[in-house]
Amino acid sequence: MIKFILGLTYFVLVVVCAYLVSTRAPSRQHAVAAQALLKNHQLELRDLLPANYAALQGKFLRTSVEDKSPITEDMVAAESQSIFQTNGIAAFVAIEKRRAVVQNINVGSSVQICVKQKPFGATTKVEALQCDESNCMATVKLGKIDNQVIDPASLTDATIIPAASNCETK
């Protein structure tokens, strides 16, 4: 009799466990960033792992994400987000990607604009950074420069360095 009760108990436990497993709600998987991505980046399928999240393609990140971090619907927007909080003049400064990595220049980094190895204006912050395989384009906001008119041509040879660095030794 005890063997029958133990067998019946075992059978009931197996049936209950099988039922619980079969009725469990499937866990929702999220897309994962294939690499570190910056705020306002427009998502492409190559940015996502697995790459079958077409619903996110073409949308813009509301915040930066780290490599292999989940990307959910609430982290994206249909339109590009404004990168500036106040009015100002922006400069686009090209920098080699390897130099940006070595000098740890990212969105939010304090930088000094250098022209012909001399500081140009006060230190500023990188507002946006777009990179391809070998080069980056940094968007920086130009601060007020007393008694100086800013000629866009004067920035054609500009570069940026971390704010604590010296333009002469870039």
Question: What's the pLDDT score for residue 30?
Answer: 75
- Cβ proximity of 59 and 42 under 8 Å: yes
C-alpha count within 13 angstroms, C-beta hemisphere, residue 29:
9
pTM given for the model:
0.50
Distance separating alpha carbons of residues 135 and 169, to the nearest angstrom: 21
- For residue range 29-52, what is the model confidence (pLDDT) as tens digits? 678 888 888 888 888 878 888 766
Residue located via tokens 């994206």: 76
Is 19 in a helix, a strand, or coil? Answer: helix
Amino acid letter, 12? V
